[in-house]
Chains A and B, each alone.
Chain A
């Protein structure tokens, strides 16, 4: 992946938006790329909307705040509605269709709908919808190779939650096949 990826992940607090973003950022770090990860912070993190900007680049990164992403990962309807028109022409949208009923499409953007929350629940992966979407994002954009993604994931899961690694990998694989 040569071009700069400006990924905006957006959803409700608790859906794992920041964690999914961190996995992407860590994979970028493993690849020796320029990386930035910027969360929204403040009152909206407690139950409201949460989003994070992740940039992967081969040149020094200017503004880490992404207002016009070339990749949008939307985990709920308000986030989709808020950002769908901001995506750059030629960009990619990955949307959780189990949370987004009204998937308004654009002609100049590729949109991949994945019922991520439903897939996670049906496979006993609890709140793993974020990782299902990450799997789809990986499959569509190939922002790194598989081993790097796994290495990044291992770095992001704290030792106290090491038992969840397999579930996260399973969710990513389900997303890639979705």
Chain B
């Protein structure tokens, strides 16, 4: 398997096409632009459509259309652009349309900055748009994972007929690492979508893709059915990586870019004889509650590390249910925490636990 050096943004684009994505609609924004630039060069070569829309709102509605017609389709943006897409994502969820949405996060709120951030966790996992719905959210933390996850995301989206979001950030988007790319899939060979609006030539009944239901009972019933699907996703799609957690007194919980910083801090703590470990959620929704639960026996305390003011920490507390203290350390606005800063936090907890133990 040949390894190539690629930026995270480029790996997302390349592996999406290899997953059979043939439609991309977007609008430029730093620090995501390399993804769209790569698509604009390569998509025509595989017979696909790259289109720079007039706005983010237009782009997500083009995604809706292409998805309704049965295509594998993707859009990408960064934080402020994702807010604009929120309405369209809600419509996709309401119409049970698959599709992949990339958020290469930058600091917010508002126009914010262009440096890496993780401050769209709440938006991605709790309220991407209006209405009762969820999107599946993945948080890669290496360029290889950017490639692997986007390749799989299209399958997950199609299987459950749901939008899937990949929550990356400026650091992962801009950095280069070696990556082994997956085998290209031929869109012709993908599972059929009998629900898609592909033209029926009078041979079957109409397919209708719609999110408007004026009868309360019908709308409730659809929501109930959708939540049964969400239960199935929760039961089967949770993913996390546990690193040195088996005997860990202090369990760090971090995703994406901050998980890399946390991993460095855990290694440094271990070198000092402190039993630290890291639980790294790979799916943010569904939150990996089972993997969290597996750490509770050894954990004396949790430390959540994020590049925001404290968002995922709430889901960690929901899992821990008050059984252990859950602390938080975060930097925001585009600042990437240093391993030394995080190590300092671990040392403090370690010293306090030691003092309490005496």
Contacts and interface: CB of A to CB of B under 8 A. Distances in A.
Given A29-B5, A68-B340, A35 B177 contact: yes
A95 B243 CA distance: 39
Contacts of A22: 5, 176
Interface string A16-41: 00000010011001000011111101
A157 interface: no
Interface residues on B, range: 20 to 34
A34 B177 CA distance: 8
Contacts of B345: none
Q: Which of A34, A38, A63, A65 has the most CB of B within 10 A?
A: A63
A68 B343 CA distance: 14
Interface residues of A, number: 21
A65 B336 contact: yes
Nearest to A66: B338
Nearest to B342: A63
Contacts of B332: none
B83 interface: no
Contacts of A90: none
B5 A63 contact: no
Interface string B16-44: 00000000000000110000000000000
B260 interface: yes
B170 interface: yes
B178 interface: yes
Interface in B66-100: none
A35 B31 contact: no
Contact of A62 (B5, B171, B339): B339
Nearest to B178: A29
Contacts of A35: 5, 176-178
Nearest to A32: B3
Contacts of B4: 29
Interface string B327-356: 000000000101110000000000000000
Contacts of B264: 62-63
B33 to A, nearest CB: 10
Contacts of A63: 260-261, 263-264, 336, 338-339
Interface in B112-139: 114-115
Nearest to B266: A62
A34 B144 CA distance: 12
B219 interface: no
A64 B5 contact: no
The 4 closest A-B pairs by CB, nearest first: A62-B264, A37-B176, A38-B175, A62-B263
Interface of A: 22, 25-26, 29, 34-39, 41-42, 60-65, 67-68, 155
9 contacts: A25-B5, A29-B3, A38-B171, A38-B175, A41-B31, A42-B30, A42-B114, A62-B265, A67-B340
Given A25-B5, A61-B177, A64-B171, 4 more contacts: A35-B178, A37-B177, A60-B263, A65-B336
